[in-house]
Amino acid sequence: MLQRPRRNRRTQAIRDLVHETALQPADLIYPVFLHADRVDTPIGAMPGQTRWSPDGLLGLAERALEAGIRSVVLFPKIEDAKKDRVGTEAGNDEGLIPATLRSLKKQFPELTLITDVALDPYSSDGHDGIVADDGRILNDETIEVLERQALAQARAGADIVAPSDMMDGRIGRLRRALDSEGFHDVGLLSYTAKYASSFYGPFRGALDSAPKAGDKKTYQMDPRNRREALRELALDEAEGADMVMVKPAGPYLDIIREVRDATTLPVAAYQVSGEYLMIEAAAQSGWLDRRAVALESLVGIKRAGADMILTYYAMEAAAWLA
């Protein structure tokens, strides 16, 4: 035989010479949960993950940088007393997220701080947008609140704001709002193709942000659709997105590849809580090698075309890769 592909697989050194996909700690973004309590609290819905206190989060940030993780995305658990139907607390300059941003930026200026822009943690209805009396999600009224939220985050030191709400037209509105206040350097990472997925359950438990009524299918994308992701991508590019995202990651590798092939913008993918928990549950039962499967899943997401990956394995994966 003239062709023996196995020659390129014969030793680890040769495999490392010819490998096609490189995963490194700098590719990983760590999603971090926080609350205003003074005690760090393990999250029952997501074994191995923690809802961090302000002091605990500072310690985590230091460990993340030491591990080679340069970027975190912040998700707040807001106490019920501060929630209302229009997410007023989202735009509070003295709220949990702005206060946390100021603290992190002061102590760790080299850490890239990414924020979630959506109303579900702040809404008494648990939706990403304002809910009308008849149950409709109000698109344009929601964007007005999102503008205030993004500006509060930018004023506090956010490097990148990441709208996850899936309202139509919000990227252009947020870009103009940020620019009008002089925040030309604050990046926009758009949740471009965020699907109405059943894989989000543990995350909603971590933030107590599940919808109180109805579902999110009128604004998040239908899992049966592929071409629609390219329509959303074209709109986000035209409206000024700096980066785009596909969420979830593992069940949507085909969408990651479609988006990667269709844009020159950096592409992110979010390995969501349900993906994480499936690996954790199988590993705890002894059916899977946790480390090997977690790394393989991340390599698969990177191979599909993601430039960066939001993953709850970020800290451990960085150590494994080192």
C-alpha–C-alpha distance, residues 280 and 55, integer Å: 27
228 marked as part of a ligand binding site: no
Active site annotation includes 212: no
Angle at 50 between CA 66 and CA 23, to 5 degrees: 45
Local structure of residue 311 (DSSP, 8 states): -
d(CA 279, CA 285): 10
Give dist(CA 162, CA 181) in Å, integer. 18
User: Residue 248: which of 268, 219, 264 has the closest Cα?
Assistant: 268
- Distance between CA atoms of residues 70 and 272, nearest Å: 19
DSSP helix/strand/coil, 138: strand
Of the candidates 83, 216, 247, 302, the residue annotated as catalytic is 247
Backbone angles phi, psi at 192, to 5 degrees: -70, -50
The residue from 77, 83, 194, 216 that is catalytic is 194
Task: Give CA separation, 195 vs 37, 125, 127, 182, 251, in Å.
Answer: 32, 20, 15, 32, 10
Residue 83's nearest CA partner among 116, 119, 118 is: 119
Q: Is 247 a catalytic residue?
A: yes
Q: Catalytic residues, which ones?
A: 194, 247
Binding-site annotation: residue ranges for Mg(2+) = 232
Binding-site annotation: residue ranges = 232
